[in-house]
Amino acid sequence: GAVVSQHPSWVICKSGTSVKIECRSLDFQATTMFWYRQFPKQSLMLMATSNEGSKATYEQGVEKDKFLINHASLTLSTLTVTSAHPEDSSFYICSAHLVTQGGTEAFFGQGTRLTVV
Amino acid sequence: AQTVTQSQPEMSVQEAETVTLSCTYDTSESNYYLFWYKQPPSRQMILVIRQEAYKQQNATENRFSVNFQKAAKSFSLKISDSQLGDTAMYFCAFVGFGNEKLTFGTGTRLTIIP
């Protein structure tokens, strides 16, 4: 199947600094990618839809100035957590969808565990 | 708006037994896809099985099968001959045809007991 690579898998940063997380579709092009946040023992919460060549679409309640999304190419989307604070500590997951004759399927990155200290 | 409900937060079964995970959903759409995803302790999301709503036949993938009841908006997952590696969180998910946003259920934590 298709592969989505997310990097880094974990990161620790100091409060007030910014962290960039990359999401790459390795063997297919993705005009749309998705960023999720997952709290411990909870489901995936959609943060935003990343659109290649245009602005991201944020879900209600997600601060667009804190979570900057850039989708500059058909294989790369980045999520930058700006001025990170301890409450931003979480597990972040990206996904890209592949549409084939058989239908649509989502492929997920490995996730990034962010710890802000 | 679509909603997906998983009413079993946790389940546990003995190895080699069969277990069924429940999922119900609500939508006004007639064409859509349903999925079961597995999230093991590594937290990598893995597709277990997919069902197209227009197909009446229930999807099967080796030990995994679904019972899709479109009228009842029910989509349960049956795991046969359960194995220790099946221990994971299982999420039911919905996406409308022509849409790309997945709607996830709250998940069921499944533990296979040796």
- Alpha carbons A21 and A114: distance in angstroms, whole number: 10
From the candidates B45, B51, B55, B94, which should be mutated to test the interface with A, based on the most A CB atoms within 10 A? Answer: B45
Least Cα distance to A44 among A116, A94, A106 occurs for A94
Of A15-24, A53-62, B105-114, least confident by mean pLDDT is: A53-62
Least-confidence region, from A3-17, A54-68, A100-114, B45-59:
A100-114
Nearest by CB: A44 against B47, B52, B104? B104
Q: Looking at the complex, does the CB of residue A5 fall below 8 Å from at least one CB of chain B?
A: no
Q: A42 vs B106: CB contact, 8 Å cut-off?
A: yes
Question: Do the Cβ atoms of A105 and B47 come within 8 Å?
Answer: yes
Q: Residue A72 has what pLDDT?
A: 84
Half-sphere exposure of B82 (CA within 13 A, CB side): 22
Number of H helices, E strands in chain A: 0, 11
Q: What is the pLDDT of residues B76-93, one digit of tens each?
A: 999 999 999 999 999 999
Inter-chain residue contact A104 with B33, CB threshold 8 Å: yes
A96 touches chain B (CB under 8 A): no
Which DSSP string corresponds to B49-63?
A: EEEETT--SPPEETT
pLDDT at B3 over 90: yes
B38: confidence class by pLDDT, cuts 50, 70, 90: very high
Q: How confident is the model at residue B4 (pLDDT cuts 50, 70, 90)?
A: very high
> What integer pLDDT is reported at residue B98 of this predicted model?
78
Instruction: Report whether pLDDT(B40) > 90.
Output: yes
Whether A105 has a pLDDT exceeding 90, the answer reads no
Check B105 against A43: CB less than 8 A apart.
yes
Nearest CB to A46: which of B33, B50, B101? Answer: B101
Q: Are the CB atoms for A93 and B45 separated by under 8 Å? A: yes
Angle, CA of A75, A20 and A70, to the nearest 5°: 45
Q: What is the pLDDT of residue B100?
A: 81
Q: How far apart are CA B99 and CA A103, in angstroms?
A: 11
A91–B107 C-beta distance less than 8 A: no
Please tell me the distance from the alpha carbon of residue A68 to that of residue A36, in angstroms, as a whole number. Answer: 13
**Which amino acid, residue B52?**
E
Mean pLDDT score of chain B: 95
- pLDDT score for B16: 98
Q: Kindly determine whether residue B35 and residue A49, on different chains, have CB atoms separated by under 8 Å.
A: no
Q: Is the pLDDT of residue A84 over 80?
A: yes
pLDDT given for residue B61 in this prediction: 94
**Chain A partners within 8 Å of B100 (Cβ):** 32, 34, 49, 97, 104
pLDDT at A102 over 80: no
Interchain CB distance below 8 Å, B102 and A46: yes
Q: Which of A49, A105, A108 sits opposite B44 (nearest CB)?
A: A108
Torsion of CA A95, A98, A104, A107, to 10 degrees: -30
Look at residue A98 in the predicted model and tell me its pLDDT: 82
Predicted confidence (pLDDT) at residue B58 exceeds the cutoff of 80: yes
The residue that leads in pLDDT, B66 or A54, is B66
Is residue A20 a contact partner of residue A112, using CB atoms and an 8 Å limit?
Answer: no
